[in-house]
Structure 1
Amino acid sequence: MLRRLHSLPGLVSALLVALVGLTGAVLSVDPALERLGTSLPAGLSVAELAGRVARHYPGAEQIQRTPSGAIIVYYSSGEVSGAARVDPASGAGLAPYAPSAFSRWVKELHRSLFLDTAGSAATGLTALTMLLLSASGIALLLKRVGGWRRLARPLHGSRSQRWHAAVARLAAAGLLLSALTGSYMSAATFALVPDGTRDEPDFPATTSGGAPLPAARLPALLATELADLRELVFPLPGDRSAVYTLRTARGDAYVDQSSGALLAYRAHSGAREVYELVYQLHTGEGMWWLGLLLGLSALGAPWLAATGATVWWQRRRAKPRIAGNAPLRAADTVILVGSENNSTWGFARALHDALTTAGRRVHTAPMNQFSSRHGAARHLFLLTATYGDGDAPASASQFLARLAAAAPNPAASFAVLGFGDRQFPQFCQFALDVDAALAARGWRRLCAPATIDRQSTQEFARWGTAVGALLGHPLVLEHAPAHPATTALQLRERVDYGREQQEPTVVLRFVAAPAPAPGWLDGLLARRRLPRFEAGDLAGIIAPGSPMPRFYSLASGSNDGVLEICVRKQPAGLCSSYLHGLRPGDRVEAFIQPNPRFRPTSGKAPVILIGAGTGIGPLAGFIRNNSGKHPMYLYWGGRDPDSDFLYEPELRDYLADRRLTQLHTAFSRIKDGVHVQNRLSEDADNMRRLIEDDGQVLVCGSRAMADSVRQALDQILAPLNLTVQALRDDGRYREDVF
């Protein structure tokens, strides 16, 4: 519901929101420009200013003080009228004054779209829409990242989703303030709320009628500080019944031109003060720094409109299209899907097709449609993502309530498959909640709940193999989520390890491939650059003959000039065999999948790097880029130091130049061999000291290794009343496991 509340108004009003945002950003510069070179002498009264101005402009008709403090005099000389910006210290003119025609044009476009009342109504509705979008967007963002405490952490999702959320994180507060104040001002324009600007003091019935005194000697003007002045209107020359009109920050008054007494005064009402505060907060007039901040936020409006529309279109394209979906009444197998952005439906479609090929009658539907009729099938599969901090995704938000109202089917079995990202504290939590709720209601498990990290096609295929064995027939699951456009890479260098042990590992370093064909574009294309990436991001490579990419953690950043991966050859591994067969000069196609949650945070706190096998790749990249030589400690496990001590020369160099503080290695296939978790336990005192110094931990390697490391660290941290989960919740424990 919250997402619909955000996306539908955004789509309808995207162009107007972008236009209002752009024009608001342009107008936000005006207060800052006006503020330049403006200063007011301390303690100067309105009377003194009026006297000085009158000496230089005998035909002065009006003096205005702008919110930024600039003093403008409007005057006439004979039949010529003019306006000038004056120096308050002397009253002398500084420069002719003429409001910018461009600013006036932009302001009219911003306020009414050049359509008078109808345009003002349209921009008012746009402000209300922006208010709704800002409030719902902040709520969605907090839900997405898991609360205020995690708001500054790296974002996850597609490129458009990340950019949309990243700009929203910076601009949402400013847009919310602009939308709120703009809505109020629009309501005041149409008299829906009072603004107090029409409250004038009663015009005096009589005046003293005496000879006019010089403005510099009038008591009411002497008692008014220049800092409070808004406007002073001079009486008509020769008319002794005319008066001065004085408008100040506190109220408005009429002043007798001969006695200088206040003839009438009306203080500003509460409504007037509220309106002027709202106006100041909306325009930044009088607070130029706020205007610039709001302008920067307003620049985010067109970007948010564009990326929001892109995210909506991507989500729409990913909507489920299940061919051969059996009617529910005839189905013996039901697949229920919980998804926020529709990406889980691709995996559900692959499962649907595989089960249908195996001869089953399969009905696939959103989890929100669950009822006792779905539970009547022999097998129930639930594939669901988790949204935000362990919450249900959009298409599963009603599932648990529906489950509670449905009678269980003891003859049916169920299996739950969760999709998520292990870097989130509540990894696949909703899937686990669904599994527990089904079991608690008396449903029978076909297998324990399983989880898929970052849409891993390999994990999905392995799950299918296990489920197929339980069902009694092979279940081949292949689904490759859509990936970005690939970049052509050329292998520049390879470093081989472990060949003599028949367990080869290779470090591959690629550069951007030059243009493959000669021609007049050859020289230009040959200078193609690597895509942007950082150590710890992932390179997706699709081997010939495989529909699915295999992901490898990057051991370099694009600033290093190479794309570097570390690959162990797997038995029957299609992609690893392909990569091991490459020779310098060979080409591959690859794409980058950002992995912002797996990299050290900035700062001088110690970094503890833990890995085994090829998991050293991104850890070596982090050390390589430790140009500030902050404390870094590496604990790494290999098999044999004589055959597969990966990155040994580089690590020795990093120790020598202090990019690496300490190196602790563990080799398992030598006499008295140990594993990396043993090294952690041996160095427990140092580990505790580093953690107490706000140290952060990054772990890369196999899932089994990561489990053993977590167990060892929980024991090490027990005297500190800390756990790995507590570090994870604090953003100080990050994993990239496979």
Structure 2
Amino acid sequence: MLRQLHGLPGLLVALFLVTLAVTGAVLALAPAMDRAAAVIPAAGEVSVAELAGRVVAHYPGTEQIVRGPSGGVVVYYNRDGRPGADLVNPLTGEGIAPYEPSAFFIWIRDLHRSFLLDDAGRGLAGVMAAVMLLLCISGILLLVRRTGGWKALLRPFAGSGGKRIHSELARFAVLGLLLSALTGSYMSAQRFGLLPETPETGPTFPAEVSGGKPAPVATLGALSEVDLSEFRELVFPYPDDPQDVYSLTTSGGSGFVDQATGELLKYQPRSGGSVFQQWMISLHTGEGLWWLGLILGAAALTVPVLSVTGISIWWRRRRSSGQIPDNADVSQAEAIILVGSEGNTTRGFARELHGSLNKAGFRVHCSEMNALADHYPQASLLFVLTSTYGDGDAPASARRFMARLSDFRGEKTLKYAVLGFGDSQFPNFCQFALDVDGALASKGLSQLQTIELIDRCSATQFSEWGDKVGELIGTPLSLSHDPLPPPTVKLELVERADYGLAVQAPTSILRFRAAEPGRGRWPKFLFRGRKILPPFDAGDLLGVMPPHGQAARFYSLASSASDGILEICVRKQPGGLCSGYLHELRPGDCIDGFIRHNPGFRPATGNTPIILIGAGAGIGPLTGFIRKNTERHPMYLYWGGRSSQSDFLYQPELGRYLEDHRLTALNTAFSRSDERVYVQDKLRQDQIAVRQMVEKGAQILVCGGRDMAAGVMQVIEDILEPLRTDVETLRAEGRYLEDVY
């Protein structure tokens, strides 16, 4: 088991790990190079006041002085209205060279952190760090087992060839790789909200400032008491503003310095959590510890060799053994778990059931519902755990279940139990689970347990269900699984645009930003570099927590993080708890929200045509895709509303996108106009052009209501018929994506 735990993950992700390792080794050189380029005075030789005085003498327009982790001092200044940045000599204040981050190292860093794939790549890099952590731990245990104990790890290894090389290199590099993997996993978990992140808020702006005549910076007492080795950042006050202050950041905390008296007005020590986070970053990157960076880089360079030798060992072992056990084989399994899930939440409950049954001694086979076998010869128990997608439909991993069930031959001894997952506030609560339960009963199978429905992923209901099942099978099952939602942040509504009142379809475009803490005056530099929200793109989801509501509602984002706002398009639904709440908001009001990534709804990259189809509020993410199409790839929008006079959403923006060619063509359909057409009609009118684009490899993205999406799918099916293909084929190729509700 330990060997499989070590070998299988390594085989699956070897290329990604090699990429991370090689780029990490290159990045490990940066701290040492920065250290070599910097002038580093001895401890106690230069104070911050002396440094600032020398720098200002050479750079009268100084706005900020920063000391990097490797000791280099950079001045940010304004000269003749033009900003600049120079690396300076702290002993003289003179410039050494213009400061500009290396484009090469930036590219390598992006490749290392996200494989150049933005959010999805960052998530993948985090997973790779966790896999590396698993490989290090399992590898150490394998070495201990192979050598006969921990003490034997220091002795020479026996053997030769790839196996010997693999073991020797692993022993040399494992501590460095373990440190890199552990710190990388920690930072990734913090980035995606799996672990809490201690915010660096800094002290509040001082209430009392002398307002006197500014003194030369070299004479300020508070700055004279800080040694350069402890210095991190000094932000200068705004020119000609006697009420502003210097903002000082040191290794121990941050505070404000009166520019007239030189008094330290407020000082807030760094929290223990913040110090710990910084140490984790330093231990991972080598920033401030250039010698450690070189050690970690050397360890990382062993990964390509370890990957090649590891694959070679696996291949030889596979040839001799014939197979690698994973999940229990279908023909041998005593208990079957089938999972129907759209967003993978239900899979967590299935894993918990799988582990509990394994502990009870059952051989368990778990797969998605689409993989239903013709029969399970040894199984006596069949568990179906499924969510419901949209308005009572099957989730993605169960769309082919009903068709496969017609060929299913259940053994007379097979007993089944269905567990549904959903939200009781929706009219068709767990409808697909109910349909599955009825279909299994119609096949003549015996029911182990009456169907139960789990409301909003209730851990309590799941545990109680497990207790009932355990009594029926004569084996206690202790099921404990509680998928917690990500932590929310305060979002402030900054702008809204309202449409559709005249046609009884009130729809609003709402734009939010992360709310700044507190009230009153907050200098901008206090928020410089703060990470309040994870990165996001158009097509991702904004989870909104409605008042007095227990479950979040999700709205597709029309903006990306680079836009600086979170933008959603919301139609007010009759009796809608969350949509009504959002429509009542006014600029300045705040909500609780969080980001849920939705990488399955994205336009493809490259120059292939993109066909965007939507109606009503579904135009939101489609507009976001167009907005980001700065490379002017061919992009066509078909959109339907009620009236061009009342609910033509994003009309000014779409006009600008047509002018600058981010949008190639726009076809609108208004059902309450003289033409009285729907978006499906526009597609049918353009069927020849649509068919030609599909022949060229076009991708189709559909967003909006379920009825509209069903009508669009039928029209696309008709258009595709002469091509001898269909929507399901395009879907399997990633060329037909839906975000419907």
Please, what TM-score do these two structures have when normalized by structure 1?
0.48
Whose radius of gyration is greater, 1 or 2?
1
TM-score, normalising length: structure 2: 0.48
